[in-house]
Amino acid sequence: MSMTYSYYKNMQLNNIIFVYQGEVTADLVSSILQMVENKLEGEGEDRKVKKRVFNVMVECLQNVYHHLDALPPTDPSNPVRDKTALLMIGREEKDYYIITGNHVMNDRIPEVKARLDRINRASKEELKQLYQEILTGTGFSEKGTAGLGMIDIARKSGQRLGYDFHPVNDKYSFFSLEARVSRIPEK
């Protein structure tokens, strides 16, 4: 029990308003969205900011949800056979941040990294073009988004996406993604 206070202090210091570690299901995603939405509502956050945070949160959480679904569940070197991930939302003075963490297969890293780097290099106008290209293209997977989610997160965030791949074993790494939403409404 002695750890409780340090968990509390740590969360407080890092401005964490919500953290979850465990299995990610569609119902869980719904509950988190509802809870955070109520919290933003209750604290009288600016409507535009609230909408952006909600939008970015939807994409980040569903991105993890779809991704976990694609991992081979019976692979013995998969560190998480139960679709667990880390979901975290925080509020700093200037920004909200949404962080997700989940395992990815190492062979997918170059593709994900290239996509994120491309998004981070793109201007606002280029992101819009990229979005439209994917939206109207035919390469839409049954799974859903084929990269649209990340672009949408970047467009709504207006800031660079932070990311990291932490090696876990020879087949898996832990991928974390951070998206920020400014608390200062435009104009």
Q: Which is nearer to another protein, 89 or 172 (CB)?
A: 89
Nearest distance from C-beta of residue 76 to another protein, angstroms: 28
Nearer Cβ to another protein (106/182): 182
Residue 129 φ then ψ, to 5°: -60, -45
Among 107, 125, 142, 170, interactor with another protein by CB under 8 A: 142
By the rule CB under 8 A, 161 interacts with another protein: no
Between the alpha carbon of residue 178 and those of residues 28, 51, 53, 104, 143, the distances in Å are: 20, 18, 13, 16, 22
Among 128, 166, 167, 169, the residue binding another protein under the rule CB under 8 A is 128
- Contact flag: residue 58 with another protein (CB under 8 A): yes
Look-up of token digits 């608390």: 183
What separation, in Å, do the N-terminal and C-terminal C-alpha atoms of the chain show? 48
136 binding another protein? (CB under 8 A): yes
* Contact status: 148 vs another protein (CB under 8 A): yes
3-state class (DSSP) for residue 143: coil
Using CB under 8 A as the binding rule, whether residue 56 contacts another protein is answered as no
- 20, β-bridge pairs: 87
* Site for another protein contains 132 (CB under 8 A): yes
String of DSSP letters for 13-76: HTTEEEEEEEE--HHHHHHHHHHHHHHHHHTT--HHHHHHHHHHHHHHHHHHHHHHHHS-TT-T
Indicate the angle between helix axes 148-157 and 109-121, nearest 10 degrees. 30
Which of 89/151 has CB closer to another protein? 151
Contact set with another protein (CB under 8 A): 26, 29-30, 33-34, 47-48, 51-52, 54-55, 58-59, 62, 65-66, 128, 131-132, 135-136, 140, 142, 144-145, 148-149, 151-152, 156, 186
